[in-house]
Each structure stands twice: as structure tokens, then as C-alpha cells.
Amino acid sequence: MRFFGRAGARRTTAALLSTVVLAGLAACSDEQSSSRPPLDPDPVATPVPEDQLTLAVWGSRAEIDTYERLMAEYSVISETSDVEVVAFSDREEAMAALAAGEVDPDVFMASRRDLSWLRDEGRTSPVDELLDERFVEFGDVYSRDALLAFSADRRLQCMPFEISPTVVFYNTDLIDFERMEARGLEAPSSASRWSFEEFQAAAEFATRPRKGTRGVYVDPSLAGLAPFVYAGGGNLFDDDDAPTSLAFSEDSTRDALETTLGLLRNGPLTLSSRQLAQATALQWFRRGKLGMITGDRSWVPQLRLTQGLAFDVMPIPTIETSATTGELTGFCLARRPVSLSGAADLLVHLISDDVVRPLTRTGFVVPANQQVALSEDFLQPGRQPVEAGVFTDSADDMVIPPLLDTWGELQRAVDDQVAQLVTAPGVLDLEGASATIDFASQLVLAPELVLDTGEEDSEESGDSQ
């Protein structure tokens, strides 16, 4: 569903002033017309036309309402711009509309995973110099990694706005670390870090067949397993800059997968296919029937509204190192906005506290602005989750993947096979399955290399005959 919102406001103060002044001049003119010759009217300043800017965003209804309210306020105070908000329910819908030419925004929200495509299509304009001209100081406000994530060709292409890491949500009624410790079970001593052994112990503790509860669920997909691959010291790709393949066949990656799959393939501890046919994993968690699930900050508002659900968050467990993955979102300038200066001014406003703090208070957002992320606007003391700082700490551990313009195609090519790593019955041939996944990824990431290899193999076969 697409929402469209008009965030413009007419200015009436100047018009009222003009009416009063002209009325006064007319009265004076009538009184003095007999003694003085008529005066030429004073020149009236020509009003400066306002730039009609379009801002494209996506998000929840609460986020969209906040954007529309804030842009209406901005349109009132801005002397040069009137802003229209075009809103979409999610990234996929927004990108589809942009690609189809259904929307032509001057400033728009973009996921970092789409940055390569946006640049290839000539949709963006670098923002670093424009921000410098407006005295925007990054300093300690934005992490170096967040800025680098939206950089290419030594230029800042878009301005980071949200950085949402994958974390572990857990039901505090099903998983009580103090009770676990009292029983001699492995349990974390703080919310900032825990081992995979403690993670597994928590899953076992939450699994209670008589009550129909299961311990853990991780989405069996490339995105779902990626945090555990990195936390296990593995690599998702064969190269961080110009990948030609996934790296599931690397020893370090297979070691990480062996550890992770040892838990996720343990049937009694996780949701069955029958349960997943009845409801989603998130629905099972909201019903109080699932101990742990991996997710991001956007889940928090709906979990808070779930009656009787007590929950908190922990980072992705450490296998070899602290690591996770996640989503980065920024604001970009169009290549040819209606007004470059007006669009740049709007961008500066979007990353200001006047916008970042209200958006953060909706509960959906982990702001890239570190000052706001460490404030009560984000931490929201007295509300679930108690350990909200886990989100900001985990953001520091996020592994930034290579810039690709084939993310969607890659996921479609390998996700069924990745899912089989978790769901396939019997003994898993991890080595063979990893090789199959890597080959499927090569057909997307570097098809020319696969074709060249195939031709060479054919030639060698012909020579040997």
C-alpha cells in the first residue's frame, strides 16, 4: 500500500500585513488629496516563488505521520521551499516506484544495498561538498563506518540516517539468566556479550515440551545466517570489494556454519515446519511460545503492544568474534533536483535533531546520529527492551558488505539451498552443499567467469580425446 501525503502550508502573515499597509495608505491619500498632488504608488516587492520539493520515504504509519508533520512545519519556516512527502510502506515498493518512474523525488530515502544500482542509473548526486558548504560537522556524531558505507569514488554519495543491526530478541519469562546460573547452567554475566555456548544453553532452557515452547529461531536464509558466519570468523564473500562468489566453501565459513547448524538443526529446540505453516516465527514469539528470535529495532513497537509479552535483547552470540549484519539507510539527493540548493537545505534539515529525535522516539529507528542514539530519545528508559543499548553497541560490530547491484537476484539464487542447510533431514553434507551454494552465487556475481571456466573445461576435454 502506498501512502501519499501533502506537507505544504500557505503563508498568510505577509498577505495580511500587505492588506493592512495598503488600507492605511489609501486612507492617508483620501485625507491629503486636496492639498497634495497624487503620489505614485510605492513599488511592491515581487514575492519569491517557492521551490516545490518532493521527499520520498518509507516506513510504518507512525514514521510516515511524523515525516508529514515535520515537513509541514519545515514548509512553514522555509523561505524558499515547500515540501511534498511521497510515502511507501517499505523499501521494495519505494525502489519499484523509483525504477518505474512513478515518482521523481528531489530527496529520497535509500538502502545502502541499493546504492550501487542508484549510482549506475545516475540517480544520485554526491552530498559531501554541499554539506560542507552548509557547515555540517560530522565529528563524533557519525561513525566512520557509517560514512564509508555510503561513500564511493572518494565522495559521500548519501547521508547515513538509520543503522539497524540484527540482534537477538528473547522472552524474559522463558529465559531467566539468574535462574540458569543458579542451576549451574552457562549464562551471560552482562548484556553486552555472550558466547555461543550460553546462547545454546538459553535455547535449551526455553524449550519446554509440556508447555509447547521452543528455544530459538533463525531465518534459514542468506541474510539470516550471515551474522553467525561473521561471528564465527567466516566470510560471506570471497572478496570484500569486488566479490565473484559467496565463500561458503572456505574453511573458516564452514567452521562457523558447523557450530551454528549444530543448534539450528536440533529439531526439538526450534520451530517445526508444521508450526511455521500455522504462523510466522515472529507470531510464535509474540504468543510467548518461542524463547529467542533474531530481528531488528523495527520490531520493538509491535512487541511493546503485545499484551503479556516480556522481552529484552542481546547481541548476536560470539563464536570467534563479536559481529553482526544489518540494514543501513540514508538520504540521497537526486541527480537533477528542482532546486539543488533547496534540496541540499532539506537534506541538512532531515539530519538535524529537529527531525532525527522525533523519528527516533517512534521506537522504530536506530539513528546513525550517535549523540541521539545514546540519548533517552532512543534508550527510552522504563520501556522494553531494558537493554536498548545493545542496538547501539551492535551497530559498532556490523560488518558492511560489498556494494552490489544484484542483492535481490543473489538472494533468490541461493536462499532455497541455504534453507536446506537448516531444514534438510538426515546427515548434512556441508562440504557438498557449500560448493553448490557458491556455484549458484557465481552465476549471479560473475557469470562470465563461470562461462570461461566451462569453455576451458570443454577445450581440455576435447584435447584429451
List all residues 6 or more positions away from 126 whose beta carbon is below 8 Å from its beta carbon: 155, 156, 157
**CA dist 94 → 1, 121, 126 (Å):** 11, 16, 21
pLDDT of residue 450: 84
Domains of the chain: 2-12+46-165+327-396 (3.40.190.10), 167-326+402-450 (3.40.190.10)
75 burial (CB, 10 Å; 0-12 / 13-18 / 19+) is buried
Q: Is the backbone peptide bond immediately before 37 cis, with ω within 30 degrees of 0?
A: no
Number of neighbours of residue 405 by Cβ within 10 angstroms: 15
DSSP SS3 for 114: helix
**Nearest CA-CA partner of 385 in 370, 402, 366:** 366
Burial 342-366 (b: 16+ CB within 10 A, else e): bbbbbbbbbbeeebbbbbbbbbbbb
Burial 13-27 (b: 16+ CB within 10 A, else e): eeeeeeeeeeeeeee
**Nearest CA-CA partner of 346 in 48, 70, 10, 3:** 70
pTM above 0.85, yes or no: yes
Q: pLDDT 10s digit of each residue in the chain, 465 long?
A: 444 443 433 333 333 323 333 333 344 344 444 444 444 444 444 445 578 999 999 999 999 999 999 999 999 999 889 999 999 999 999 999 999 999 999 999 999 999 999 999 999 999 999 999 999 988 779 999 999 999 999 999 999 999 999 999 999 999 999 999 999 999 999 999 999 999 999 999 999 999 999 999 999 999 999 999 999 999 999 999 999 999 999 999 999 999 999 999 999 999 999 999 999 999 999 999 999 999 999 999 999 999 999 999 999 999 999 999 999 999 999 999 999 999 999 999 999 999 999 999 999 999 999 999 999 999 999 999 999 999 999 999 999 999 999 999 999 999 999 999 999 999 999 999 999 999 999 999 999 988 766 555 555 555 555
Number of neighbours of residue 460 by Cβ within 10 angstroms: 9
**Rounded to whole angstroms, how far apart are CA atoms 75 and 80?**
9
Contact in structure between 270 and 339 (CB atoms under 8 Å): no
List all residues 6 or more positions away from 391 whose beta carbon is below 8 Å from its beta carbon: 164, 165, 167, 297, 313, 366, 373, 378
Q: What is the CA radius of gyration of the chain?
A: 28
Contact in structure between 371 and 141 (CB atoms under 8 Å): yes
Q: How many Cα atoms are found within 13 Å in the side-chain-facing hemisphere of 228?
A: 26
Amino acid at the residue 171: N
Looking at 238-385, list the stretches that DSSP marks H as alpha helix, in order from N- to C-terminal side.
Answer: 251-264, 273-278, 281-286, 300-304, 340-350, 353-361, 370-373, 376-379
